[in-house]
Structure 1
């Protein structure tokens, strides 16, 4: 499929002749066979042309995807940056907002957690929004329900502590394990466990999933930095460079 997409425009480019000079639809079978042989011979003698065409196509597709993603962010800005329930950390008055869609069972989310923390500590002027997007099975959902219920019952500081702990945790996510984790922070686990299956918690997860669908997010971590959708894990240096770019 990729080769077909490259060769078709190549035919047109190599035969950029006046319309009267050649009509490909009127070639005889012999003329068409000769034409194909000449094109093949040219490509065999100049294989770098194919790689140049592949690179050009990839660049154009990347630019088109970036434009489409920019439109998605703009069209869904209110839900991304001001949904009224997602946890907000870092500097709430920061000039750059970083939004992270995460899953506690995601290995790349765990790697990104330390990078994001380093970014916030190093810069000091970044507002962080965390969106719970459990997509890796029942244990992911259970972990997110626990984190959201903690936020609703015990507040933002407790949510931050639980979020950090869940990102560092590598065992199976079970209710007994969550109870042990919650007890280390002095949380009212009876109240939190009762809230975990509530409509309020279910609504947060459902709305974030709906937003992820609108943004064509299929994996975690996914970030939105200022006005740009960033799909996948980003190391600290790359995030720092993007922050500086956004500030101009």
Structure 2
């Protein structure tokens, strides 16, 4: 049904609802709305999308700036990009690893895209150690190198974290000091609180524009969300 026809139907429904409300009260109004939905089920996906958008906006209210402000250096893509995508990730997460090519493709096709990575170490017993070393790498300007190399390593344990850190050329004494610092500890705690506030219970989870995206949705899903954020 085209837009003019939809408008006409909607107008007719509003008139019917008004009449029903005047003559029959709430039961009559509910019956008119019920019948309209049955006759036009195509409005349900639109309604659900609008509901999700409103719930996301409500969850982001008051914390968007915090969510989109990275730990210094913990970004991928264009650090000064006009569009921001936030990813909550864990190095022990297989789905995060599977998403790497999608994120890389997204960066390649969107030169104005900044990806803020929020370390959310919730899966493995040594996930926190990997996340802390990642932030130590960010402090030395080598976050992207550690991020990619750690996922490519395929496992998360003490020797692997150490090997990856040495491989990318970190100053290890400095890295260990930063990884154990209150600043890094506070960042991890903040990420946990933000994830809870946004309703994220797993990784990867994404925030872009007014969308909250739990789970690995693939390149097309992320690209569509980035496009929508650019136009908001």
TM-score range (shorter-chain normalised) is 0.7 to 0.9
C-alpha displacement at 1:62, in angstroms? 5.8
* Alpha-carbon displacement from aligned partner over 1:142-169 (angstroms, at most 9, x marks no partner): 11011112222x22xx111001111212
Residues 1-248 of structure 1 aligned to structure 2 (within 5 Å): 63-82=50-69, 85=72, 87-152=74-139, 154-155=140-141, 158-174=142-158, 176-248=159-231
Query: Does structure 2 conserve the Cα–Cα contact (< 8 Å) formed by 1:73 and 1:228?
Result: no
Q: Give yes or no for contact 2:75–2:143 (8 Å, CA) kept in 1.
A: no
Which residue does the alignment assign to 1:29?
none
> SS at 1:99's partner residue?
strand
Q: How many residues align?
A: 196
Report the Cα offset of residue 83 of structure 1.
5.2
CA positional deviation for 1:197: 2.1
SS where residue 75 of structure 1 aligns?
coil
* Larger Rg, first or second structure (1 or 2): 1
Q: How far 1:93 sits from its partner (Å)?
A: 3.2
Unmatched tracts of structure 2, length 5 or more: 1-23, 26-37
TM-score where L is the length of structure 1: 0.70
Q: CA RMSD in A?
A: 2.7
Residues 139 and 173 in structure 1, CA contact (< 8 A), matched pair in contact too: yes
Greater displacement, 58-67 / 189-198: 58-67
Deviation at 1:173, TM superposition (A): 1.5
Cα gap change, 1:125 to 1:171, in 2 (>3 Å)? same
- Separation of aligned partners in 2, 1:196 and 1:245: 36
